[in-house]
Amino acid sequence: MSILRKLGEVSLDYLYRMGVMGMFLLKTFFYVFTPPLKINRFVKQVHFIGFQSMLVIVLTGCFTGMVMGFQGYNSLSKFGSDAFLGPMVGLSLIKELGPVLSAFVVTGMAGSAITAEIGIMRISEQIDAMELMGLNPYRYLVVPNFLAIIVSLPLLTALFDVIGIFGGYLVGVKLLGVGAGTYFGEMVSYVDMNDIMEGVYKSLSFGIIIVWVCCFKGYYTGVFTGFGAEGVSKATIQAVVLSFVLILVWDYFMTSLMF
Amino acid sequence: MIEVENLHKSFDGNKVLRGLSIKIKKGEVIALIGGSGCGKSVLLKHMAGLMRPDQGHVIIDGNNVSTLKGKKLTTLREGLGFLFQGGALFDSMTVFENVAFPLKEKTRLSDKLIDERVFHELENVGLSGSEHKYPSQISGGMVKRAALARSLVTDPETMLFDEPTTGLDPVIGLSILNLISSCHRRLSFTGIIVTHEIPRVFEIVGRVAMLHDGVVRAEGSPKEMISSSDPVVRSFVGEDAEAWSLCEPERSGSQDQ
Ligand SMILES: Nc1ncnc2c1ncn2[C@@H]1O[C@H](COP(=O)(O)OP(=O)(O)O)[C@@H](O)[C@H]1O
Ligand SMILES: [Mg+2]
């Protein structure tokens, strides 16, 4: 009896949390589409999220592309079709690896920082102070991050793709001897606009997942995780892990829908 | 006017407030005393609408804070100043920006006017010269004073001070109490000062309430508290206060001048 009861309590608790999380997203959407927008904070967050992640995006993009060059060449040359290295690298980057890995980088660099910052503001009562001034914390803390990620992530993803394709070129063409014309020519004929849009849609939705999860976890630090520095560190870990998982699960659904 | 009636609040079975009632008249400032963890901050947060009661309600100037929502709650809060126990300054802003923030965001004052008021308020709390430091670069006492300036800069009608002097050295503690009392004379807000600064706070308030076991255990003028026969009150108000009351004639004499 008590096991059943415990089970019921736990599942109710989870349901409640999911409800709160859903409400958080709805509220965020509401405040995104109603003025006023805090432009200064938005610009600051674009700089923080977009600019600071750029170097890491370039590095991961480049190495991912180079690995793809090796692996793709290896697999394709078994079937004697190493001419298709270009489309293979391009398509996997644009449709899959670019959006997912860029989202991971942004989660790790910006998402975790957002959770920690909002979490610290929560436990040191700065969010309460803001509410008491009659100001809406969503407008100051959540919306600017939301818009900044929506703007930055697709751009970072594009950068990732371009650098990755270049990395594939370095390995495939310069090192393994696929013709430069073949690499790019085949890529141009096999990658069409739909593939690019698929990547854009993915990175937009991953952006929403990241802001949603990371802001939510920060905002509710103390309520669901316990107070103090430990609460913030727990919230940050949960935010990163949950973002990663949701990104991959959502990626599966989107891929299967657009297949 | 603040009326708290039969307020109950518990956290996961931990009953913090158990039917607390208290009334504070318009323009009156009372001292709220009580042991650590007895729910003083929780009570203030209910008054500011940051927490919702399990039962009972808080009424400020005729508005039931416990049920207000949205715009009405915002309006009520605009007339409310709250000094948080830890200051709650925004760490991404300088002291100046912190104090200017409520004015910039909530009023249509010109930048020049805002600058003037902020500098004036910072001068009042003795923080001239530290305007451009960040909260992490100043001492705990300065954080409290900056937070005090921020909560007073909007000229609130109701002020809730959560331990304005705790953790400060006696000199600064006293200067903050004096500051609060001079602001009260100037703005005549209705207020509550949560403090352990007994007996010094007795000089600036007309009434004292003691929180114990989730209810107001005793309330009355400082003198009544000191002469109370309730052992709980006695153990808290203690001998310092008796010594203070003995030298009272002298002190009030000097105040008249
Ligand atoms: N948000 C909260 N969640 C759970 N428990 C809380 C919360 N806020 C306060 N409490 C509990 O309420 C009690 C009173 O806290 P508080 O009002 O901060 O005490 P103090 O009188 O020292 O200000 C403490 O036992 C504290 O653990
Ligand atoms: Mg307290």
For residue range B46-85, list pLDDT tens digits in order: 999 888 999 999 998 888 888 888 888 888 888 899 999 8
Positions in chain A whose pLDDT score sits under 70: 1, 225-226
Task: Show which of residues 184-213 on chain B sit within 8 Å of chain A, judged by CB atoms.
Answer: none
Question: What pLDDT is recorded for position A144?
Answer: 94
Q: Which residue of B has its CA nearest to A120?
A: B91
Tell me, what's the ipTM? Answer: 0.85
Q: In terms of DSSP H, where are the helices of B125-226?
A: 140-152, 170-187, 222-226
Nearest CA in chain A to B11: A223
Is B137's Cβ below 8 Å from some Cβ in A? no
B50 contacts in A (CB within 8 Å)?
A: 128, 131-132
Residue A187 has what pLDDT? 85
Which residue of chain B is at minimal alpha-carbon distance from A126? B88
The pLDDT, as a whole number, for residue A39 is 86
Q: What is the pLDDT of residues A218-256, one digit of tens each?
A: 999 987 766 788 889 999 999 999 999 999 999 999 999
- In chain B, residues 81-100 whose CB comes closer than 8 Å to chain A: 82, 84-86, 88-91
* pLDDT confidence of residue B124: 83
pLDDT tens-place values along chain B, 257 residues long: 899 999 999 988 888 889 899 999 998 999 999 888 888 999 999 999 888 999 999 998 888 888 888 888 888 888 899 999 888 999 999 999 999 999 988 888 888 999 999 998 898 888 888 889 999 999 888 898 899 999 988 888 899 999 888 877 888 888 888 888 888 888 888 999 998 888 788 888 889 999 988 888 888 888 888 888 888 888 888 766 665 665 554 444 444 33
SS (H, E, C) chain A: CHHHHHHHHHHHHHHHHHHHHHHHHHHHHHHHCCCCCCHHHHHHHHHHHHHHHHHHHHHHHHHHHHHHHHHHHHHHHHCCCHHHHHHHHHHHHHHHHHHHHHHHHHHHHHHHHHHHHHHHHHHCCHHHHHHHCCCCHHHHHHHHHHHHHHHHHHHHHHHHHHHHHHHHHHHHHHHCCCCHHHHHHHHHHHCCHHHHHHHHHHHHHHHHHHHHHHHHHHHCCCCCCCCHHHHHHHHHHHHHHHHHHHHHHHHHHHHHHHC
**CB distance B103 to ligand 1 below 6 Å:** no
Does the beta carbon of B86 sit less than 6 angstroms from any atom of ligand 1? no
Q: Whose C-alpha lies nearest to ligand 1, atom 27?
A: B37
pLDDT of A55 reads 92
Note whether B75 contacts A134, CB cutoff 8 Å: yes
Provide the pLDDT for residue A246. 96
Please work out whether the CB of residue B36 comes within 6 Å of at least one atom of ligand 1: yes
- The closest CB to that of A135, out of B48, B75, B105, belongs to B105
All residues of chain A having their beta carbon less than 8 Å from the beta carbon of residue B48 are 128, 132
What confidence score (pLDDT) does residue B82 get?
Answer: 92
Instruction: Provide the pLDDT for residue B241.
Output: 62
What pLDDT does A179 receive?
85
B105 to chain A, any CB pair closer than 8 A? The answer is yes
Query: Between chains, do A126 and B50 touch, taking CB under 8 Å as contact?
Result: no
Ligand nearest to the CA of B33: 1
Residue nearest to atom 3 of ligand 1 (CA): B11
**pLDDT of the residue at A97:** 94
Tell me what pLDDT residue B175 has. Answer: 83
Nearest residue in A to B41, CA atom: A125
Give the start-to-end residue ranges of the domains of chain A: 38-258
* Chain A interface includes B80 (CB < 8 A): yes
Residue A126 has its nearest CB partner, among B82, B90, B154, at B90
